[in-house]
Amino acid sequence: MSFPDPSETFRQEARELLEQLELGLLDLEQNPANDDLINSTFRALHTIKGSGAMFGFTAVAAFVHEFETAFDQVRKGHSPATSELIAVALDAKDHIHKLIEQPDAPQAGGEGILEALRIVLTAADIEAAAPVEVETPEPVAAPATAANGRWRIRFRLPGDALVYGTNPLLLLDEIKAIGPCTIVALTDTIPPLDVIDPEVPYMGWQVDLTADDPRAAIDDVFLFLKDGMELSVEPLEAEAVAVQPEPEPEPAPVATPAKPGKAPKAAKSVEKEAPANAERAASSSMRVDAERLDELMDRVGELVIAQARLTQIAAMSSDGNLKTIAEELERLSSGLRDTTMGIRMVPIGTLFSRFRRLIHDLSRDLGKEIDFITSGEDTELDKTMIERLADPLVHLIRNSVDHGLEPAEKRLAAGKPAKGTVRLSAVYAGAEVAISVTDDGAGLNADRIRAKAEEAGLLAPDAKIADQDLWQMIFAPGFSTAKEVTSLSGRGVGMDVVKRIIDGLRGSIDVATTPGSGSTMTLRLPLTLAIIDGMLVRVGNGRYTIPLAAVEECVELPEGIEANARGRNFLDIRGSLVPFLRLREVFGTKAPAEPHQKVVIVSSGEGRVGLVVDQIIGNNQTVIKQLSKLHSSIKSFSGATILGDGTVALILDTAHLVQFGQGYVDQGRAA
Amino acid sequence: MSTTETGSMKALTLRLQDELFAIEAGSVREILDLVPITEVPNASPFVSGLINVRGRVVPLADLRVMFGMDRPEPDEDTRIVVMEVDIDGEPTVAGILADKVHDVTDIEAASIEEAPRVGMRWRPEFIRGIGKRNGGFIIIPDLGRIFETQGARTASPAASEERSAT
């Protein structure tokens, strides 16, 4: 479920965002009044903060939060983007970069940069009525209140912890944040050098901590590691505190060259099988350019086509050897095709698991207890799409927790359990996939959204608007109904990012909400990046593919219907009337019709339509290829695919045809 | 017009009906024998088909439509010239139907003249220039403009055809 190294994923993402930030700042210097630039800069910051917190880069998140707060003055128009400001902001960007690249090295100067930022902003705007409320987050928290409790914590990490990206130093930092402490490394179980597996944490640590009962806080630190780790937290007697004559491990183990043959065995027995598995998992994944995968897919497509030709020739030949080779090649190429298609598909569960930490942190920061329930983790989507969904989902989940779920007292007063629930689910729905984030919170507040929309000038006062349209207002840039700015949400960036990314994926967002019992945000995305099962049909001389997911059933077109077709293009499917479209007419086919035509009933949303075809050829796996701009205006087709014999077949856009069918039938009736 | 330093244009010459055309050789990817063409219902006659070029689905354009020529059935001389064209700034691979492909040749820049605004059978904006060779004329079509016009033209009826957001 876990990624081999989530923090590396974050780093890569952050590097890109920082680049974007830098370019944005530089552009802004040239063009200080450009709102788009200010907004995109702000968004980059916001995303770095969000994912930084998600991956445990707390120092980054804290710093960026301060940076963001200051920069918010610019966005709100309280301060102009002067070149001094840009200079400081660039310094700040470099600082973030350092924090991300070397999270372990102590980074001084962050406070200074923030101070400079504030000075620049205040200097630029003396009138700024409400100076930014600054509370400085200490990277390492101030000494804890009571110093009378002394605790000894000993822990060893699970064997695969490093492989999954755990950084022991961060854990120690978190412990350090609980209270003043002394840390001693336990090196007694480190094996001889020649059998050391660099990915296994052989060391343990002992921390003597001064704090009031820290057990809950310690539990938090190790929340995601508890399985398989050794952890003990014990109160320390006053006398024992004085000195730490910790069993300083004999320096022997590391230095001694182990006798080959004996030592490895011993080491193995200590380490169990875990490291071996972990090592395999780590080495078995790599990053490949998506373009190269596309190229591979094209090559395989060519191979399959060439193979189909060979099979055809072999079938006509009487040469037994040729037939054998053709069969063998057919088997191999179909296997290769399946594998290649599979490479790009990733279960969405890999993405879902990333959000557990997010929910945990949100829960802690906001003091809200949350049940996080996921379903449909095995729903497979194209990898590039999954990656692009990460940001929108972070925003949606954060929104649900922060705005949706009410504080415990309010929930109890409303007769709901104190613990809120956030559900994340994915499901295939026809030729699309629906991913929803559901909370059982207060639901959207229509009056407040309305007021806010009017205030922001998005909606004329007293204008009538359907609920569904009103909900869509929350996706407008700069829209936020949160009364106070928290570190999580409320700045009004986020939802517009969500909207833009989803639009970019040719998807849509549905909002459903019930006052008092919660809301659901559903992302609907087309499966066009993927490979679909198709039903191949023939109309005249042309062959077309219908996405199988949209097909409900196939029936014979009753013969008598031909005679009185005009105005009566309806079929009686078990008591309900379904309009039907003659694809021959829609496509202007001239070839003679088959005497026995078939009807493929397809559905889209709530609508259904029958498509009359000459012949149903069968099922096939369909690699969707986009049509060029030259054909993008023809809405009956969502793409094209290449058939086994090398010819091109068009893929019918069922959603469009269902809609078109409705109009076509109405027209027929009117005529 | 892009010409080399020597003042000539390297061009592929092909025949459409009884006229000789020259297209810049640099943008040509390959020349194919006739392959099965999949008709796109309701598409404009200019780009009425799709072909498979090494696993890619490529639109097939028929310049004869744009020049108002007759369009007899393909014969053994018919070829498909696969080339890269810019469609509204987006590089796109497209095929062009040719009644016959001749050769690659240099056309002297000096011999290329502007298309006359009058006295021509064809819309002058589709022609970049007219060159001379061996006493005959070679038409140099403005492919960028031909394809762009195509995009603009098909875009307008599309607007009336509302698409549901599902």
Between A78 and A470, the higher pLDDT residue: A470
**Would you say residue A249 has pLDDT above 50?**
no
How much is the mean pLDDT over chain B?
Answer: 81
State how far Cα A561 lies from the chain centre.
50
Between A87-91, A226-230, A448-452, the lowest mean confidence (pLDDT) is in A226-230
Q: Which helix (H) or strand (E) holds A381?
A: strand A380-382
CATH number at residue A502: 3.30.565.10
Residues A423 and A324 in one domain: no
Residues A378 and A486 in one domain: yes
How many helices and strands in chain B, by DSSP H and E? 2, 11
The average pLDDT across A71-93 equals 77
The average pLDDT across A131-155 equals 52
**Would you say residue A621 has pLDDT above 70?**
no
How much is the mean pLDDT over chain A?
Answer: 75
**Would you say residue A399 has pLDDT above 70?**
yes
Tens-place pLDDT, residues A446-463: 888 888 888 877 777 777
Is residue A249 a part of any domain in this protein? no
What is the three-state SS of A58-91? HHHHHHHHHHHHHHHHHHCCCCCCCHHHHHHHHH
- A568 — pLDDT class (breaks 50, 70, 90): low
- B14 — pLDDT class (breaks 50, 70, 90): very high
Residues A522 and A390 in one domain: yes
The average pLDDT across B52-71 equals 88
Query: Which of A502, A526, A550 is a domain's end point?
Result: A526
Is residue A257 a part of any domain in this protein? no
All residues of chain A having their beta carbon less than 8 Å from the beta carbon of residue B42 are 586-588, 634, 636
CA distance A176 to A100: 20
Residues A68 and A119 in one domain: yes
Residues A365 and A437 in one domain: yes
Is residue A563 a part of any domain in this protein? yes
Q: Do A650 and B38 touch (CB under 8 A)?
A: yes
Residue among A302, A630, A659 minimizing CB distance to B151: A630
Question: 């109160």: which residue's tokens?
Answer: A235
Residues A98 and A200 in one domain: no
Residue A637 at interface with chain B, using a CB cutoff of 8 Å: yes
Q: What is the pLDDT of residue A461?
A: 78
DSSP A155-194: EE--TTTTTTT--HHHHHHHHHHHS-EEEEEE-TTPPPGG
Query: Which of A347, A372, A394 is a domain's end point?
Result: A347
CA distance A639 to A528: 8
All residues of chain A having their beta carbon less than 8 Å from the beta carbon of residue B41 are 542, 586-589, 634, 636
All residues of chain B having their beta carbon less than 8 Å from the beta carbon of residue A655 are 164, 166
Minimum CA–CA partner of A539 in chain B = B41
- A14 — pLDDT class (breaks 50, 70, 90): confident
- At A7, give phi and psi (nearest 5°): -70, -25
Is residue A519 a part of any domain in this protein? yes
Total domains in the fold of chain A? 5
Between A242-246, A349-353, A666-670, B136-140, the lowest mean confidence (pLDDT) is in A242-246
Q: What is the pLDDT of residue A221?
A: 75
Residues A232 and A315 in one domain: no
Q: Do B55 and A305 touch (CB under 8 A)?
A: yes
With CA atoms as reference, report the closest residue to A201 among A237, A226, A165. A165
Is residue A258 a part of any domain in this protein? no
Tens-place pLDDT, residues A595-610: 888 999 988 766 788 9
Chain A and chain B share a number of CB contacts under 8 A equal to 103
Is residue A236 a part of any domain in this protein? yes
Q: Could you tell me if A207 and A152 are in contact, meaning their C-beta atoms sit under 8 angstroms apart?
A: yes
Query: Which of A124, A153, A184 is a domain's end point?
Result: A124
How many Å lie between the alpha carbon of B13 and the closest alpha carbon of chain A? 24
Query: What is the CATH superfamily name and number for domain B8-154?
Result: CheA-289, Domain 4 (2.40.50.180)
How many Å lie between the alpha carbon of B7 and the closest alpha carbon of chain A? 34
**Would you say residue A135 has pLDDT above 60?**
no
Q: Do A589 and B41 touch (CB under 8 A)?
A: yes
Q: Do B92 and A647 touch (CB under 8 A)?
A: no
Q: Do A508 and B59 touch (CB under 8 A)?
A: no
All residues of chain A having their beta carbon less than 8 Å from the beta carbon of residue B36 are 646-648
**Would you say residue A410 has pLDDT above 70?**
yes
Could you tell me the residue ranges of all domains in chain B?
8-154
Residues A500 and A363 in one domain: yes
Is residue A10 a part of any domain in this protein? yes
All residues of chain A having their beta carbon less than 8 Å from the beta carbon of residue B88 are 629
Residue among B39, B54, B90 minimizing CB distance to A302: B54
All residues of chain A having their beta carbon less than 8 Å from the beta carbon of residue B90 are 629
Residues A446 and A516 in one domain: yes
The average pLDDT across A405-413 equals 88
Q: Do B55 and A542 touch (CB under 8 A)?
A: no
Is residue A267 a part of any domain in this protein? no
End-to-end alpha carbon distance in chain B = 46
CATH number at residue A298: 1.10.287
Tens-place pLDDT, residues A183-195: 888 877 787 777 7
ipTM rounded to 2 decimals: 0.83
Q: Could you tell me if B62 and B16 are in contact, meaning their C-beta atoms sit under 8 angstroms apart?
A: no
CATH number at residue A30: 1.20.120.160
**Strand order through the sheet with A551-556:** A551-556, A598-604, A607-613, A576-582, A570-573
CA distance A584 to A613: 7
- At A33, give phi and psi (nearest 5°): -100, 5
Residues A119 and A157 in one domain: no
Residue A116 is part of which domain span?
A: 6-124
CATH number at residue A146: 3.30.70.1150
Residues A312 and A368 in one domain: no
Q: Do A508 and B165 touch (CB under 8 A)?
A: yes
